[in-house]
Structure 1
Amino acid sequence: MARRVKTSPELIGGDVEDGYGKIADVFRRNISSGQEVGAAFAVYREGRKVVDLWGGYCNGNTKARWEQDTLVNVFSTTKGIASLAVAVAVSRGLLSYDAKVADYWPEFAQGGKDEVTVRQLLSHQAGLSAIDPPLALGDLADPITMSAKLAAQAPAWAPGTRHGYHVVTLGWYEGELIRRTDPAGRSLGQFLADEIIKPLGLDFYIGLPASVNRDRVAHLHAWSRAQLLLHLNRWPPRFVLALFNPLSLEARSSLIAKGITGPAQFNRDELRVVEMPASNGTGTARSIAKLYGSAATDGSEIGLTPGILEALKKPALPPVHGSRDRVLHVDTSFSLGFAKPAPLSFFGSSDNAFGTPGMGGSFGFADPDTGIGSAYVMNKLGFHPISDPRELALRRVLFHDILGTRPQS
């Protein structure tokens, strides 16, 4: 994990409703023990905010405090928010999960992708986890170039036969689908902002606008390569071994663009301002929890129809050859852009839950059976690919001790 910073419990702000005090105790322990530099945790239940905590430092180097409105990059937790935007578009009839991607994006059909459905693409089954040749940073801000390069990719496996985590590409494919089907031709980040974020008064951005004061954005305290090598036992062994071969599917799937060498690069503003709907959402725990809390109730507040909400709750439809992930080399479960509870991580009170974790420890998800929307964010990146011990401790108190539901892992 990144540097250890001594943090006083006096730097903790926010509150919890009666009955949720144990969560505050765990959050305070995480902060004061040195496990965090800065972090926030929020929970909505049946549309009501019941937990809203923040603390530590927005920047451990300058000792700037983590404030109520501090924003932080949440890496792959972004995927769930992007997929909620897609779900809203589906609810409005702009596209269908069961239509072919090429119906909306004819150029996508090349390379043997003509039969790939939106559902398969969003479920990491399309075999498009890597971009060959690798992108340049300048490509990310050019939607025409991105569209052509994404459409030109050939699947790494026969679509629908396997699945493999689309670490960074999922968001770009979702973004092009939104751009192609939105009558206004907006990017996914702009669609999200106009149709969901601004109407609800939330703080979350895919592509950080110039109007946001950068002093509000938390500095990421990321691990070095040497530190990561000491903690590779936290990751699936076959995935780790493959990363040492830059030509492997696993390594290529983890590459964002040439010259981006690690998570600390996301402290650069040029990586904040472009849209990466799978990996660079910047926001507050409160906003993420609010979005998932809305989805966990009836979904109408953010524009989800009852039918689409039911679809998000349903179990994943596994590929033909089972649930072993072709990229991560563990059993995973994905549906409509979200992770579903699986042996690697059982979250929520039942398998109706859906959400996405992010590199370093962040996690946002909806639990429809309890009406819970939960979000944990931080700026000190941990080494666990999922269920970071800091987040897991908070989630266990919420679901086991307070709600009395199944164990969390």
Structure 2
Amino acid sequence: MSTSGTAAEGTTGQEPRVGTTTPSDVGGDFDDRFRPVVEAFADTVAEPAQGGAALSVWHRGVEVVHVWRGTADARDGRAWEARTPAVLFSSTKGLASLTVAWLAEQGRIDLESPVAKYWPEFAVHGKDALTVGDLLAHRAGLFAPDDDVELDEVLDSRAFAARLAAQKPRWTPGEAHLYHAVTWGPLVREVVLRATGQELPALFKELTGLPSPADLTLQATDAEIARVAHISVSPAYQAVNARMTEMLAGDEGALRFLTTGGAFPLGFVTAQGGVNDARVQKAGLVSAGGIGTASELARVWSSVVTPTQGRRLLSERGTALLTRQRSSGPGAFDAGNPGPFHRWGAGVQLSSEALPLLTEESFGHDGAGGQAGFADPRHGIGFGYLTNRMEPVSTVPRIVSALKSVLGNEADG
């Protein structure tokens, strides 16, 4: 990194200013121009002994920030390191969507064709006209199973997808939207398998050229899981889930939605369960559960919008297919909700009031607890932030705000 400083320096040789020095326990390095971004990152790790985080920023194909801080596993004190992978949560959806867009630009799948063209069994209960693009944009009305299910059934992607395909949707497919937190993955994975004869996690690896074992994967192996950061839960996050449990007592429909029919705990994490469960990380859910490093996550997003290490993953046409707005505004059950609301392309989140990214052209996907990966074509940015400490409010906006200030009115180029 040119003009770089080590993250442990803490000063630039001048008299340090209160609140603007980098803590000595931040590892990694960075281009000194981006020091405010690193300082904002360091502040997101409030209790380094209880959890950690990593940040990578690539600018016009060059990694200008790669830093980490805190603990990868609070149970034994294992420190976060350069190649520590973390669970991506729903940031996995963004990577899966990149893969589908890549297939679409090759003509191997058509986003405007009905899902039933590839998956005839899907065409029941009025779902025959739902397009692949609508499915990606959370418009299927299949956001939860109709009945309670066991975790093993959800992790059997094809069996769970078949169960969902046989269901009656909660609205006329394509006419409304609501986030399909877990069901999205098995449904999209099945469509891709039917269209191409290949599994989506394998196609993602083909697209990115990642080695095995990889530093970014939609379906982890035992070797990759052995290095993954263990997720811990903050008291604030626990309190939110406790209040939610109390509020939803007796509301089976809402609980089924928030827990995928009881397969996951409310909040998606327990000490050994939920996404801490190795079975979830190995299942290739595609909607969540992928693992990776911040550096590799940011590199992949960078390579979507600018040549990065000799690779450009999508053409302009592929990016346009990915980012055309398909869902926005109030969701299916948001009557009376003032927002703000998300905007969706073909599976990726577009910058919105609910998720303000670097510019209006930015796109990517966040994840529960504070994960985020996105690209920005205006500035040629690939961004990856990962943490293993579940908090109720994302700390990513403060990092993005610092990045926006550093880049300022940088000209396109």
Please report the TM-score for the alignment, with normalisation by the length of structure 1: 0.84
**Would you identify which runs of 4 or more consecutive aligned residues in structure 1 move more than 6 Å?**
none
Question: Counterpart in 2 of 1:308?
Answer: 318
The one-letter amino acid paired with 2:331 is D
Using the TM superposition, give the Cα deviation of residue 196 of structure 1 relative to its aligned residue in structure 2, in angstroms: 1.9
Question: Counterpart in 2 of 1:190?
Answer: 202
SS in 2 for 1:376: strand
1:191-236 per-position Cα deviation (integer Å, ceiling 9, x unaligned): 212332526995112221123251x11110025785225776xxxx
1:256-283 per-position Cα deviation (integer Å, ceiling 9, x unaligned): 3544323122222122211111111111
* Residues 88 and 302 in structure 1, CA contact (< 8 A), matched pair in contact too: no
The one-letter amino acid paired with 1:391 is V
The one-letter amino acid paired with 1:273 is K
SS in 1 for 2:70: strand
What are the residue-to-residue correspondences of 1:153-172 with 2, within 5 Å? 153-172=167-186
Using the TM superposition, give the Cα deviation of residue 72 of structure 1 relative to its aligned residue in structure 2, in angstroms: 0.9
Question: Counterpart in 2 of 1:383?
Answer: 392
- Name the CA shift for 1:70/1:374 in 2 (closer, same or farther; >3 Å): same
* Residues 91 and 303 in structure 1, CA contact (< 8 A), matched pair in contact too: no
- Separation in structure 2 between the aligned mates of residue 309 and residue 358 of structure 1, nearest angstrom: 21
- Name the CA shift for 1:209/1:33 in 2 (closer, same or farther; >3 Å): closer
Question: Counterpart in 1 of 2:40?
Answer: 26
Question: Counterpart in 1 of 2:3?
Answer: none
Which of 335, 356, 359 is the equivalent residue of 2:345?
335
- Name the CA shift for 1:197/1:221 in 2 (closer, same or farther; >3 Å): farther
- Structure 1 vs Structure 2 CA RMSD: 2.7
1:323 aligns with 2:335: no
Using the TM superposition, give the Cα deviation of residue 166 of structure 1 relative to its aligned residue in structure 2, in angstroms: 0.8
The one-letter amino acid paired with 1:48 is V
Which of 372, 388, 395 is the equivalent residue of 2:400?
395
Which of 230, 245, 253 is the equivalent residue of 2:257?
253
Identity of aligned residues (%): 29
* Residues 48 and 71 in structure 2, CA contact (< 8 A), matched pair in contact too: no
Question: Counterpart in 1 of 2:10?
Answer: none
- Name the CA shift for 1:242/1:193 in 2 (closer, same or farther; >3 Å): farther
Using the TM superposition, give the Cα deviation of residue 140 of structure 1 relative to its aligned residue in structure 2, in angstroms: 3.6
1:267 aligns with 2:276: yes
Aligned residues: 378
1:104 aligns with 2:118: yes
Which of 347, 350, 356 is the equivalent residue of 2:357?
347
Structure 1 unaligned regions, length at least 5: 1-7, 233-239
Higher CA-based Rg = 2
Using the TM superposition, give the Cα deviation of residue 99 of structure 1 relative to its aligned residue in structure 2, in angstroms: 0.8
- Separation in structure 2 between the aligned mates of residue 133 and residue 94 of structure 1, nearest angstrom: 34
Question: Counterpart in 1 of 2:164?
Answer: 150
- Separation in structure 2 between the aligned mates of residue 46 and residue 13 of structure 1, nearest angstrom: 23
The one-letter amino acid paired with 2:330 is R
* Residues 9 and 32 in structure 1, CA contact (< 8 A), matched pair in contact too: no
- Name the CA shift for 1:292/1:356 in 2 (closer, same or farther; >3 Å): same
The one-letter amino acid paired with 1:217 is V
Which of 63, 66, 69 is the equivalent residue of 1:52?
66
The one-letter amino acid paired with 2:202 is Q
1:91-143 per-position Cα deviation (integer Å, ceiling 9, x unaligned): 22110111111001111111210000011111111211112223322224434
1:90 aligns with 2:95: no
Question: Counterpart in 2 of 1:4?
Answer: none
Which deviates more, 370-379 or 256-265?
A: 256-265
- Separation in structure 1 between the aligned mates of residue 323 and residue 246 of structure 2, nearest angstrom: 35
SS in 2 for 1:277: coil
1:15-68 per-position Cα deviation (integer Å, ceiling 9, x unaligned): 111311112222233336659721001111111111111121101221111011
SS in 1 for 2:389: coil
- Name the CA shift for 1:226/1:107 in 2 (closer, same or farther; >3 Å): same
Which of 346, 363, 384 is the equivalent residue of 2:372?
363
- Separation in structure 1 between the aligned mates of residue 248 and residue 356 of structure 2, nearest angstrom: 26
* Residues 164 and 325 in structure 1, CA contact (< 8 A), matched pair in contact too: yes
